[in-house]
Structure 1
Amino acid sequence: MKNYIQKLIDRFTRFNYSDSLTNEIHRWLLQNRHEDLKEEALRKVWNETKAKSDSRTEESLQQVLHRLQVSPVSRTYEMSVWRYAAAVAVLCVSIVSTFWLTKHYVEQPSVSMVEKYIRYGETGVINLPDGSVAHLNSGSYILYPDNFEGNTRVVHLIGEANFKVVKNPNKPFIVKSADVSVTALGTEFDVEAYPEEDEIVATLLNGKIKVETTMDTTSYVLSPGEQVVYNKKTAQSQLVMARLSDVTAWQRGEIIFRGCTAGEVFQQLERYYGITFRYNPNLFNEDKYNFKFKRNASMEDILEVLQIVIGNFDYQVGEHICYIKSRR
């Protein structure tokens, strides 16, 4: 039975089916039978999802978006056609999170879900049904019910968001991102959980939150200024003090790099400016750098600074692509 369920879900996430069959599969996912096996299979799909740069065509992207027929759902998408990898991430979280989230609402089969995606190069503010506010960073995706029923307020996140939560002691507010769950009663916190990065980071700005992980049994109750860093590769977590000005820099339009390799710098610049960097990874070593750029700094300004500090490369900016080449 276990292999059969895994095979069913694997096939569903990899091939196109009709809307009616898609709806049937979603209803099957929400049934109580074999719930543990289905959740295990869905978690495997999630963990195998890796965001990779890809310059697929608009047709390819539209095929992926067409697969996002979670019913019943209302959704808003603003997505660059060249960000195919982001579309794949949204596809998998749509399937996985719909099961994990809406199984809390099985007794209300007509519950409507809302999905929103903030494309690369932009940020966006989303007003949640309870009056809480989510400020999403570039390339981020959020899934939540259009009305918080039951005893909890649960949202799912891929990417990064700042949450300002309306206090309600009788209904905890919970943010789920892969293997990390953040619970708050009334507070402000930041969760960073991009699928292409090794770490998920939860930072408390005001109030109090509880951070739990499914792989690491340790749980944390944070005070303002603290953060939990969870490593997805090692399944280990740690509690550290945060640089709050760095955590909130993206909300002010600032760009800050702390202990980042050249590859990590380019990866973050992709999200911030909505452009793909193409280069030979062997061009750069694993040296780590610290940079801070003010609001409205252009990508060219940043690349010129990187040329001086890192050296040994030239760049050429095309349409949605920046080519990095060796000077040798």
Structure 2
Amino acid sequence: MTKELLIKFLNDHCTDEELKQVVQWIKEDSLSSGSKEWGYGEWESIEYQENENLPDDETFQSLLDRVHHKINIANYNKPYKPAVLFTTWLTRAAAILLVPVLAFLIYTLSQVPANNSQYSDLTIDSLEIVAPTGSKTFIQFSDGSEVFLNHGSKLKYPQKFTGNTREVILTGEGYFKISHNPEKPFIVKTKNLDIKALGTTFNVHAYPDENIVATTLIEGKVMLERKTYSQRKQTIGAMVPGQHVSYKPGTGEVFSSKGDIEKYISWKDGKLIFKRDSLVQIADRLSRWYSVDIEITDEAAKEFTYTATFVDEPLFHILALLKDAAPIDYRQIPRKQLPDGTFSKQKIIIEKRN
């Protein structure tokens, strides 16, 4: 690993062969103390000499997201073959880059044991993919099944499905297309709900900071099983195409609707669809979509409802349109530099206009 190669990698100018060299170094050498010291030293030197071409600490995450996104685009629509495993762990290496004051690459090869019993079914060979902010991630499994991961989502899955089931663990949101295999059900595990399918297309929404797990069925059939406090599974029921089911773990309530499901799955096509949604619901989706904190200070404003569709729109364009449609104003709170050299998340205040 040389300084020149590191510069080319950070500027996305590596050839395929050079990229393999970087990945090999990340895989084999980056955990040693000598390699870490070399890496930080070279980063300082590069940052000093190539300041105009390299990002500062505040924008380094954006570069990481672009690298991660490019890796997944390169793998998109390719049939499954052993070589896919290379891009899988390469994506993983990109997904867990650390960004301290002196940002550098460290690839974590060891697996961290999980405390939750839902993780016990996966083996030490399991892989974990994270979809960074600002990009969606595509994964093809060993059986030909596929999933799109939404912003900020995480999926853990085995390199190869063995046993009587095909199991993955989802944190966040994923759009699944499952290869038909009646002898081996495909199970998407979330913290509070399991979704079992044989061969079907469905969406699962299960972000950990939301007290809700939602499933939308596009085609085929799925079974929903909730987990009790004793970790026993209790069947909620089967879904039919065009059905959207929301489950609230805190209360055990189940809500079901049927018909217009586009708003729940349009994210994979870069669309934000709102249909009679409250400003609170819109703020929650915008916060996750654009990685910002949005706070609504007026209780009455929270109940304003909107119907709109946005396709790849900048955040502040959307906010301006929301402002034009209802008596609200918004303002930005300047980002603050944190003790570790990174910056706080962008914050936006929405208030009622008098």
TM-score (norm 2): 0.61
Larger radius of gyration: 2
> Which residue of the other structure, out of 130, 142, 149, is the alignment partner of 1:117?
130
> Which residue of the other structure, out of 177, 187, 190, is the alignment partner of 2:203?
190
> Which residue of the other structure, out of 94, 112, 118, is the alignment partner of 1:100?
118
Identity %: 28
CA distance in 1 between partners of 2:148 and 2:279 (Å)? 27
Count matched residues.
Answer: 243
Quote how far apart the aligned CAs of 1:130 are.
1.5
Quote how far apart the aligned CAs of 1:285 are.
4.0
Counterpart position of 1:274: 291
Quote how far apart the aligned CAs of 1:158 are.
1.0
Deviations 1:70-122 (A, max 9, x none): xxx9644267969xxxxxxxxxx97245x523x336xxx6x401111112222
CA distance in 2 between partners of 1:294 and 1:117 (Å)? 25
Counterpart position of 2:313: 297
More moved, 201-210 vs 285-294? 285-294
Structure 1 segment 164-243 matched on structure 2, within 5 A = 164-215=177-228, 217-243=234-260
Partner letter of residue 173 of structure 2? Answer: E
Deviations 1:178-221 (A, max 9, x none): 11110011110000111222221111101111111124944211
> Which residue of the other structure, out of 257, 267, 270, is the alignment partner of 2:274?
257
Quote how far apart the aligned CAs of 1:146 are.
1.2
Counterpart position of 2:346: 321
* C-alpha distance 272-79 of structure 1, shift in aligned 2 (>3 A): farther
More moved, 308-317 vs 196-205? 308-317
Task: Indicate if the aligned counterparts of 2:292 and 2:348 stay in contact, CA closer than 8 A.
Answer: no
Quote how far apart the aligned CAs of 1:313 are.
1.8
Partner letter of residue 226 of structure 1? Answer: Q
CA distance in 2 between partners of 1:318 and 1:150 (Å)? 52
3-state DSSP class of the match of 2:241? coil
Task: Indicate if the aligned counterparts of 1:188 and 1:207 stay in contact, CA closer than 8 A.
Answer: yes
Structure 1 segment 86-97 matched on structure 2, within 5 A = 95-96=114-115
CA distance in 2 between partners of 1:294 and 1:236 (Å)? 31
3-state DSSP class of the match of 2:317? helix
Aligned-CA RMSD value: 3.2
Partner letter of residue 267 of structure 2? Answer: W
More moved, 287-296 vs 148-157? 287-296
* C-alpha distance 280-226 of structure 1, shift in aligned 2 (>3 A): closer
Task: Indicate if the aligned counterparts of 2:149 and 2:174 stay in contact, CA closer than 8 A.
Answer: yes
* C-alpha distance 236-80 of structure 1, shift in aligned 2 (>3 A): farther
Quote how far apart the aligned CAs of 1:247 are.
1.9
Counterpart position of 2:105: none
Partner letter of residue 297 of structure 1? Answer: E
Partner letter of residue 348 of structure 2? Answer: Y
CA distance in 2 between partners of 1:203 and 1:325 (Å)? 30
Quote how far apart the aligned CAs of 1:282 are.
4.1
Unaligned runs of 5+ in 2: 1-30, 32-56, 62-87, 101-111, 336-344
Quote how far apart the aligned CAs of 1:223 are.
1.4
Quote how far apart the aligned CAs of 1:265 are.
1.8
CA distance in 2 between partners of 1:240 and 1:276 (Å)? 29
Task: Indicate if the aligned counterparts of 2:304 and 2:326 stay in contact, CA closer than 8 A.
Answer: no
Unaligned runs of 5+ in 1: 1-18, 20-56, 62-72, 83-92
CA distance in 1 between partners of 2:121 and 2:243 (Å)? 30
* C-alpha distance 81-287 of structure 1, shift in aligned 2 (>3 A): farther
Deviations 1:202-243 (A, max 9, x none): 111011111111249442111111122101221122332142
Counterpart position of 1:48: none
> Which residue of the other structure, out of 323, 342, 351, is the alignment partner of 1:307?
323
CA distance in 1 between partners of 2:310 and 2:288 (Å)? 16
Task: Indicate if the aligned counterparts of 1:180 and 1:213 stay in contact, CA closer than 8 A.
Answer: yes
CA distance in 1 between partners of 2:97 and 2:133 (Å)? 8
Quote how far apart the aligned CAs of 1:252 are.
1.5
Task: Indicate if the aligned counterparts of 1:79 and 1:118 stay in contact, CA closer than 8 A.
Answer: no
Task: Indicate if the aligned counterparts of 2:200 and 2:219 stay in contact, CA closer than 8 A.
Answer: yes
* C-alpha distance 288-220 of structure 1, shift in aligned 2 (>3 A): farther
Quote how far apart the aligned CAs of 1:261 are.
3.3
TM-score (norm 1): 0.65
Task: Indicate if the aligned counterparts of 1:118 and 1:124 stay in contact, CA closer than 8 A.
Answer: yes
* C-alpha distance 257-205 of structure 1, shift in aligned 2 (>3 A): same
Counterpart position of 1:40: none
